[in-house]
């Protein structure tokens, strides 16, 4: 009886070890979820495709993971025997087969590309697909993005934007919480900035009067005329000098595109201290000639 028990125990033990060895054999530890692999499609069926990725078992890509775009013909996006990149989205099953995706690989690559574009302060073309009270939703290379109303150039008639292509900059690119927020205003400012240079005479409208200076709109770019740059003479109250929406000409004395800052000066246009306060109309009327003279003085 003892010998039978020992034999039985040994047999059970032997079976468990064999079983374990087979499990090890079928499991391919070089393939894990989240990994990008190369493979060749060798068989298509109605549900998806089988892919050789060099493992012990073939991998499978479901039809709805074949591409980010809608697929009518699987062979167009998954051509047979062509080397393609895939993302492993599910670990091996009992047969050692992993599940692949081209769609999620494309999404991953788009997020990476957009993050790089944001870092380089680049702009991107997007298409308006829907709207709500807060702004518009847009298609960004297959991903869904959002432009807040305050960051649109046309804020009053959102309906007119539907289906339109807009040039935008990036406010937030965050794949972790799926946030892709864009700004048309940033792109407009960026384009405007490229047209500006120090020493240039510009025309704009007064949009804000603060104790420290006057804000001026230069075709979508906000600039600041500091109180010390208005005149060579002391000013105690800018509201006595300027009015909202008043047209004004000034010289750019500083530019910082990274921070979106433009600094202006009208004091450099004065022929004598206080001329901006005593006869602003005359300074504005001959601003071009005065700006040329100021520029020549600087370069001498």
Average pLDDT over residues 85-98: 90
How far, in Å, CA of 292 to CA of 268, rounded?
10
Is the distance from CB of 139 to CB of 129 less than 8 angstroms? yes
Prediction pTM value: 0.59
pLDDT more than 90, % of the chain: 65
User: Residue 9's pLDDT is what?
Assistant: 47
Judgement on whether residues 182 and 200 belong to the same structural domain of the protein:
no
Judgement on whether residues 175 and 146 belong to the same structural domain of the protein:
yes
Judgement on whether residues 261 and 287 belong to the same structural domain of the protein:
yes
User: Residue 13's pLDDT is what?
Assistant: 47
The mean of the pLDDT values for the chain is: 87
Residue, of 191 and 118, whose pLDDT is higher? 118
Q: How confident is the model at residue 10 (pLDDT cuts 50, 70, 90)?
A: very low
Decide if 261 is inside a domain. Answer: yes
Decide if 9 is inside a domain. Answer: no
Decide if 20 is inside a domain. Answer: no
Decide if 24 is inside a domain. Answer: no
What are phi and psi for residue 105, nearest 5 degrees? -70, -45
| Least confident range of 21-35, 117-131, 140-154, 192-206 | 21-35
Question: Does 121 have pLDDT greater than 90?
Answer: no
Q: How far is CA 178 from CA 20, 103, 130, 173, in A?
A: 41, 16, 18, 8
Angle ∠(197,198,203) on CA atoms, nearest 5: 70
Judgement on whether residues 207 and 178 belong to the same structural domain of the protein:
no
Q: What is the CATH number of the domain that holds 201?
A: 2.40.50.140
- DSSP labels for the chain? -HHHHHHHHHHHHHHHHHHHHHHHHH--TT--TT-EEEEEEEEEETTEEEEE-SSSS-EEEEGGGS-SS--S-HHHHS-TT-EEEEEEEE---TTS--EEESHHHHHHHHHHHHHHHHHTT--EEEEEEEEETTEEEEEETTEEEEEEGGG-S--S-GGGGTT-EEEEEEEEEETTTTEEEEEHHHHHHHHHHTT--TT-EEEEEEEEEETTEEEEEETTEEEEEEGGGT-SS--S-GGGT--TT-EEEEEEEEEETTTTEEEEESGGG-SSTTHHHH-HHHHHHTHHHHHHHHHHHHH-
Decide if 108 is inside a domain. Answer: no
Q: How confident is the model at residue 8 (pLDDT cuts 50, 70, 90)?
A: very low
| pLDDT tens digits, one per residue of 210-239 | 999 999 988 777 899 999 999 999 999 999
User: Residue 18's pLDDT is what?
Assistant: 62
User: Residue 94's pLDDT is what?
Assistant: 83
Judgement on whether residues 219 and 278 belong to the same structural domain of the protein:
yes
Judgement on whether residues 126 and 174 belong to the same structural domain of the protein:
yes
| Least confident range of 17-21, 122-126, 132-136, 140-144 | 17-21
User: Residue 222's pLDDT is what?
Assistant: 82
Angle ∠(299,249,263) on CA atoms, nearest 5: 65
Q: Point out the domain boundary residue: 137, 171, 189.
A: 189
Is the distance from CB of 138 to CB of 126 less than 8 angstroms? yes
Q: How confident is the model at residue 25 (pLDDT cuts 50, 70, 90)?
A: low
User: Residue 50's pLDDT is what?
Assistant: 96
Q: Point out the domain boundary residue: 152, 173, 189.
A: 189
pLDDT more than 70, % of the chain: 87
What is the number of domains present in the chain? 3
131: containing domain: 121-189
Decide if 78 is inside a domain. Answer: yes
Judgement on whether residues 125 and 177 belong to the same structural domain of the protein:
yes
Question: Does 6 have pLDDT greater than 60?
Answer: no
Decide if 222 is inside a domain. Answer: yes
| pLDDT tens digits, one per residue of 51-73 | 999 877 789 999 999 999 888 89
What are phi and psi for residue 53, nearest 5 degrees? -110, 15
Decide if 92 is inside a domain. Answer: yes
Question: Does 92 have pLDDT greater than 80?
Answer: yes
């Amino acid at each position: 009886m003892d010998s039978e028990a020992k034999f039985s125990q040994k047999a059970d033990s032997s079976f468990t070890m064999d079983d374990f060895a087979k499990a090890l054999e079928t499991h391919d530890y070089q393939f894990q979820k989240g990994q990008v692999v190369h493979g060749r499609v060798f068989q298509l069926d109605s549900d998806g495709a089988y892919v050789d990725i060099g493992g012990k078992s073939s991998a499978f890509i479901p039809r709805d993971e074949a591409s980010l775009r809608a697929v009518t013909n699987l062979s167009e996006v998954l051509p047979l025997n062509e080397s393609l990149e895939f993302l492993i989205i599910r670990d091996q099953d009992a047969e050692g087969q992993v599940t692949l995706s081209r769609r999620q690989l494309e999404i991953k690559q788009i997020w990476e590309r957009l993050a790089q574009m944001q870092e380089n302060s680049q702009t991107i073309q997007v298409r308006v697909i829907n709207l709500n009270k807060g702004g518009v939703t847009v298609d960004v290379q297959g991903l869904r993005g959002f432009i807040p109303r305050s960051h649109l150039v046309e804020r009053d008639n959102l309906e007119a934007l539907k289906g339109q292509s807009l040039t935008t900059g990036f406010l937030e690119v965050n794949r972790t919480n799926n946030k892709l927020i864009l700004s048309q205003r940033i792109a407009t400012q960026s384009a405007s900035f490229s047209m500006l240079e120090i020493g240039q005479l510009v025309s704009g409208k007064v949009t804000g009067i603060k104790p420290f200076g006057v804000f001026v709109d230069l075709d979508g770019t906000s600039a600041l005329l500091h109180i010390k740059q208005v005149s060579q003479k002391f000013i105690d109250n800018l509201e006595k000098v300027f009015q909202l929406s008043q047209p004004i000409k000034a010289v750019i004395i500083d530019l910082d595109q990274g921070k979106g800052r433009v600094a202006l000066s009208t004091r450099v246009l004065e022929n004598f201290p206080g001329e901006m306060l005593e006869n602003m109309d005359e300074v504005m009327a001959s601003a071009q000639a005065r700006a040329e003279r100021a520029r020549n003085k600087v370069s001498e």
